[in-house]
Chains A and B, each alone.
Chain A
Amino acid sequence: EPEVTQTPSHQVTQMGQEVILRCVPISNHLYFYWYRQILGQKVEFLVSFYNNEISEKSEIFDDQFSVERPDGSNFTLKIRSTKLEDSAMYFCASSEDWTDPNTGELFFGEGSRLTVL
């Protein structure tokens, strides 16, 4: 069964360092997303991406964050200068569509745990 894969599964970094989280969405999907979950808190929407551009972003997704689809298969989330409060589980998701309830299901990866020291 097709699945969304994420790397790395866990990354530890120093505050102020740049981090890139990678995702390979399901191959025929066109819509891509990043969500995050700070330990013990809600899963929060960060950004959605379609046709090589951001379609929506939350207030969390500030100038320190960027997304890119560099090669037609990967979908990356970059944090330029990490802060302690960026420590969280980051989930990538993809969907075939978002307007049709029958095809709009989000498929999530297993998550990348980021620890900022």
Chain B
Amino acid sequence: GNSVTQMEGPVTLSEEAFLTINCTYTATGYPSLFWYVQYPGEGLQLLLKATKADDKGSNKGFEATYRKETTSFHLEKGSVQVSDSAVYFCALSSPGGYQKVTFGTGTKLQVIP
């Protein structure tokens, strides 16, 4: 079945540091890949997505590239801010549909001034 593995947190960074959160997946076919973010006290929000190999999703300075050869979708940001403190979830959905999204365990990011 489908599965997502992401690095365990918490990750603590100083403001303006470079962020990488690793994510690898197991799936049949060509899934769509996502990063969701959960800010304190809020629901899950879609941060970015990529629907086919070599696509790069980007939003709010975050980027992730769909790497089929390494089955990875690592999240990166060049310079984090305190407001980026949140839990980040890597996720995938089966080809052709978003009906059943499979999530990773989430990585908590704390950015300190």
Contact = CB atoms under 8 A, between A and B. Distances in A.
Contacts of B93: 104
B51 A42 contact: no
Interface string A79-98: 00000000000010101001
B99 A98 contact: yes
Interface in B79-113: 89, 91, 93, 96-106
Nearest to A48: B99
B17 interface: no
Contacts, number: 60
B67 to A, nearest CB: 18
B101 A45 contact: yes
Interface in A15-63: 31, 33, 35, 40-45, 48, 55-56, 58
Given A55-B99, A56-B99, A106 B46 contact: yes
A1 B36 CA distance: 18
Contact of A105 (B46, B97, B103): B46
Contacts of A45: 100-102
B65 interface: no
Interface of B: 32, 36, 41-46, 49, 51, 89, 91, 93, 96-106
| CB-CB nearest 9 A-B residue pairs | A104-B98, A43-B103, A108-B44, A110-B43, A108-B43, A101-B51, A98-B99, A98-B97, A98-B98
